[in-house]
């Protein structure tokens, strides 16, 4: 949960009581989630202040209710002005039908129908990740891209390279010289080089054709 910015965990009648001494080591330092966890006797009480609830389970044929993907669930949460909750069941048995019936929709992760085994931790991380894509966590650090170098700078680089290749006898046979030059030109003109990158490559070329420095 904490990996993806979720800190509000509500527990319904945990089997081993709460707090659970085994939870700390398993949480790997996510103490804030454990410390803020709220305890409830029933699912109804746990979701009483939530306007939208998604039940994480496989499609239930015994219930007629909407079934959405994790992506649609995340979109619904993002657009909901009220509180939303994702309901998960116990590791071994999953959610009971009566609990699923309390939700507004079922959210199901599309997985291989021939191997549908998905444990609780995996289900939580998949849905939490999908939610995080619409949160502040999804915004990468701002970094402006360098402007593309003017065409004249690229021409200078290409001419410098051409002179070095001619000196080394690279163009052979002569009948293929222009075709080879065209290929080289497209390599440098289609990549969107910046001025800094052009200067760096030109410096490399100068170093390669100049006499080696004495050390």
* 2-138: CATH number: 3.40.1280.10
Domain parsing of the chain, residue ranges: 2-138, 151-209
pLDDT score of 99? 92
Q: Over range 175-194, report the average pLDDT.
A: 87
Prior bond of 184 cis (ω within 30°): no
What does the alpha-carbon distance between residue 76 and residue 138 come to, in Å, rounded to a whole number? 17
**Residue with token string 């006898």:** 169
pLDDT score of 8? 95
pLDDT range class, residue 140, cuts 50, 70, 90: low
**Residue with token string 């389970």:** 57
For residue range 81-113, list pLDDT tens digits in order. Answer: 889 999 999 888 889 999 999 999 999 988 888
Residue 137 pLDDT greater than 90, yes or no: no
What does the alpha-carbon distance between residue 89 and residue 79 come to, in Å, rounded to a whole number? 25
Contacts made by residues 114-122, CB under 8 angstroms, sequence distance 24+ = 116/58, 119/91, 120/88, 120/89, 120/90, 120/91
Query: β-pairing, 52-56 with 10-12?
Result: unpaired
Q: Over range 178-204, report the average pLDDT.
A: 87
What does the alpha-carbon distance between residue 56 and residue 134 come to, in Å, rounded to a whole number? 19
What does the alpha-carbon distance between residue 30 and residue 2 come to, in Å, rounded to a whole number? 6
- Using alpha carbons, select from 195, 184, 205 the residue that is nearest to residue 154: 195
What does the alpha-carbon distance between residue 201 and residue 186 come to, in Å, rounded to a whole number? 16
For residue range 141-162, list pLDDT tens digits in order. Answer: 666 778 888 889 989 999 999 9
- Using alpha carbons, select from 5, 18, 27, 20 the residue that is nearest to residue 121: 27
pLDDT range class, residue 53, cuts 50, 70, 90: very high
């Amino acid at each position: 949960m904490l990996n993806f910015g979720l800190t509000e965990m509500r527990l319904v009648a945990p089997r081993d009581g709460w707090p659970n001494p085994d939870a700390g080591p398993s949480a790997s330092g996510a103490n804030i989630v454990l410390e803020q966890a709220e305890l409830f006797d029933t699912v109804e009480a746990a979701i009483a202040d939530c306007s939208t609830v998604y039940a994480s389970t496989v499609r239930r044929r015994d219930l007629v209710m909407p079934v959405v993907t994790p992506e649609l669930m995340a979109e619904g949460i993002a657009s909901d002005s009220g509180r939303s909750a994702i309901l998960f069941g116990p590791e071994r048995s999953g959610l009971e039908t009566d609990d699923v019936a309390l939700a507004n929709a079922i959210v199901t992760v599309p997985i291989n129908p021939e191997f549908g085994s998905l444990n609780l931790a995996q289900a939580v991380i998949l849905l939490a990740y999908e939610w995080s894509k619409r949160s502040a966590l999804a915004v990468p650090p701002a970094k402006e891209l360098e402007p593309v170098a003017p065409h004249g700078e690229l021409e200078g680089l290409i001419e410098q390279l051409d002179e070095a290749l001619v000196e080394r006898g690279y163009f052979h046979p002569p009948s293929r010289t222009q075709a080879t030059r065209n290929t080289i030109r497209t390599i440098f003109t289609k990549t969107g080089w910046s001025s800094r990158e052009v200067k760096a490559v030109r410096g490399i070329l100068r170093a390669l054709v100049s006499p080696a420095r004495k050390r």
